[in-house]
Amino acid sequence: MIKIRETKSGIAVTDFGEISLDITLDCGQCFRWNQNDIGDWSGTAYERHVRVKKTADGLLFLNSSVEDVKKIWIPYFDLDRDYFKYLQILRADKNVCEAIEKYGTIRILSQEPWETLCSFIISACNNIPRIKMIIEKYCRLLGRELDGGVFAFPRAADTALLSPAGLAPIGAGFRAPYIISAARAVEADGGLFDRLKSEGETEARRELMTFRGVGKKVAECTMLFSLGFDTVFPTDTHIIQAAAELYPDGYPECFSAFPGLAQQYVFYAHMNKGGK
DNA sequence: TGCCAGGATGATG
DNA sequence: CATCATCATGGC
């Protein structure tokens, strides 16, 4: 059972299992986290800015309120789920087992659906540093200011009012009209994401792919990282290539316990074996 | 200048 | 349904 303890400098969370912040926040599932020079992480989600670190004895430390830890950060970091159980199952595969040992526990984050959809639209044919830069500019242009100089992810409703020219300063290029049309669709259908969550994987994927600029990969990343679809194995080119080399005859059976988590380790397992 | 980046799209077999 | 050319931006 997760425990929360209030200290004078923040909140300490214990008994949640494990998490490696370094790999969880840097594996490409999120774009609004940065590490400082002593290795602590700070990031923004759900209109909250927070600093997070692991203590030497494995506690998760957040400078936040008890309420936010309960309502936002425990669900966000997926701390309620028994990763020990899933990782035990995934360890049946040798490659993944080695990756777990080397890189630690990845948590599949539970992010805001609009932010996730929009971020992965921006990610199309792009590289991670620039994706992060575009998103940062977007937040500064249109997001609500939280602390000094820290901005929340812009709301779909505010984005829907813009023209592609109005979005030009963020440098999203040909993706700008996709962002705006997606924002308008999300704004026009307030129940969209809740409905997608209740649908089956195939139908949710199909519906997301009706948006311009949203293909299979963007749809699946949105589903896995914000809509609770643990079963998707996003068709990320790097992961697919890694999988083709490590598993030419198909994925191991154990992956089916948590495909969305397994696919992240496939990437690192490939890298661990000298892959690009 | 040329090439690439954690795709999308539409047209073909 | 698998493949393939084409699209299109900014950074290096």
Question: What does the pLDDT look like over A11-26, one tens digit per residue?
Answer: 999 999 999 999 999 9
Q: Is A86 helix (H, G, I), strand (E, B) or coil?
A: helix
CB A104 within 8 A of CB A270: no
pLDDT for A178? 97
Q: Looking at the predicted structure, is the pLDDT value of residue A273 above 90? A: no
Q: How many Å does it take to go from CA A87 to C1' B6? A: 24
A14 with A59: CB under 8 angstroms? yes
The three-class DSSP label of residue A160 is helix
Give nearest nucleotide to A26 (CA–C1'): B6
Q: Are A196 and A220 in contact (CB under 8 A)?
A: no
| 154-183 of chain A touching strand C, CB 7 A cut-off | 171, 173-174
Identify the DSSP state of A54.
Answer: E
For residue A128, give the nucleotide whose C1' atom is nearest its CA.
B6
Within window 72-131 on A, which residues have Cβ closer than 7 Å to strand C?
125-126, 130
- Give yes or no for CB of A16 within 7 Å of strand B: no
CA A63 – CA A42 distance, rounded (Å): 10
Q: Which residues contact A203 (CB under 8 A, 6 or more apart)?
A: none
C1' of C12 to CA of A164 (Å)? 26
Neighbour count for residue A99 (Cβ, 10 Å): 25
Is residue A134 within 8 A of residue A171, CB to CB? The reply is: yes
Look at residue A147 in the predicted model and tell me its pLDDT: 84
| pLDDT at residue A103 in the model | 96
Please give the positions of A annotated as active site.
217
Tokens 């820290």 appear where?
A: A150
pLDDT, averaged across chain A: 95
Residues A179 and A167: beta-carbon distance below 8 Å: yes
Asked whether strand B has any atom less than 7 Å from the CB of A168, the reply is no
Those residues whose C-beta lies under 8 Å from the C-beta of residue A181, and which sit 6 or more positions away, are: A211, A212, A213
Whether the predicted pLDDT of A208 surpasses 90: yes
Specify the DSSP class assigned to residue A14.
E
Average pLDDT on A149-178 reads: 95
> What is the value of pTM for the model shown?
0.97
Q: How confident is the model at residue A169, as a pLDDT?
A: 93
Per-residue pLDDT at A276 exceeds 80 = no
